[in-house]
Chains A and B, each alone.
Chain A
Amino acid sequence: EADIYQTPRYLVIGTGKKITLECSQTMGHDKMYWYQQDPGMELHLIHYSYGVNSTEKGDLSSESTVSRIRTEHFPLTLESARPSHTSQYLCASSEWGLAGGNEQFFGPGTRLTVL
């Protein structure tokens, strides 16, 4: 079944730790995205990728980094977590194309708490 997965779903971690949030999709989509969502707020794009070896920064500045070594995998890494990184992180993917209606499919999100 085609889908998009994120792990872990919840993570509570101490300040200074390195963390990686995983995102995988089985739909063969070229484009992938990471959004950050604070409680009760809208989503903000922090990273996106057009395909393998492509990564770009989004609208919201983030200390996180991403990589795209495989089409299906788009992990997000924080080298040194801080309480200000506490948020929900949502991964999405879509087909390549200039058509305006290309839908983005979202994963269930990772809720990160940094103590």
Chain B
Amino acid sequence: AQSVTQLDSHVSVSEGTPVLLRCNYSSSYSPSLFWYVQHPNKGLQLLLKYTSAATLVKGINGFEAEFKKSETSFHLTKPSAHMSDAAEYFCVVRDSSNTGKLIFGQGTTLQVKP
């Protein structure tokens, strides 16, 4: 069965400093991985997705993630945090069945300090 583990429940950075949100996955096959962001009282928005093409994936708002099979990781990074990045971030793996359902990690709350 597929699963994802987000290694940090809460990350705090200063504005302008790099962001690293860590995610490890478990899958018996080549997975499809996603990062979603959820701002307060808003729906989830897709940041980026990995689907076995390039291992370095660029997303919206300056975020990117690197798929590392040897480490079973898919960490999310951004060179310089902005106040508007403060939100909840979810690492997600797509289920291998044809349902297309998503399996969510526990979420990481990103706090950005001025």
A interface residues, Cβ below 8 angstroms from B:
4, 31, 33, 40-45, 48, 50, 56, 58-59, 90, 92, 94, 98-109
The residue among B34, B36, B101 with the most chain A CB atoms within 10 A of its own CB is: B101
B13 at the interface (CB under 8 A from A): no
Interface of B is mostly: loop
Contacts of A59 in B (CB 8 A): 101
How many of B's residues come within 8 Å of A, CB to CB? 24
B70 at the interface (CB under 8 A from A): no
Contacts of B107 in A (CB 8 A): 40-42
| Interface locus among B18-26, B60-68, B71-79, B92-100 | B92-100
| Contact A90 B44, beta carbon cutoff 8 Å | yes
Contacts of B98 in A (CB 8 A): 98
Interface of A is mostly: loop
> Considering only CB atoms, which chain A residue lies closest to B90 in the complex?
A42
> Considering only CB atoms, which chain A residue lies closest to B107 in the complex?
A42
Q: 15 A-B contacts, Cβ less than 8 Å apart?
A: A42-B90, A42-B104, A42-B106, A43-B102, A44-B104, A45-B101, A59-B101, A92-B44, A98-B98, A100-B51, A100-B52, A102-B100, A104-B46, A106-B43, A107-B43
B49 at the interface (CB under 8 A from A): yes
A108 and B43 contact, Cβ closer than 8 Å, known pairs A56-B99, A99-B51, A101-B32: yes
Contacts of A31 in B (CB 8 A): 99-100
> Considering only CB atoms, which chain A residue lies closest to B102 in the complex?
A104
Contacts of B32 in A (CB 8 A): 100-101
| Contact B90 A58, beta carbon cutoff 8 Å | no
A58 and B51 contact, Cβ closer than 8 Å, known pairs A41-B107, A90-B44, A107-B43: no
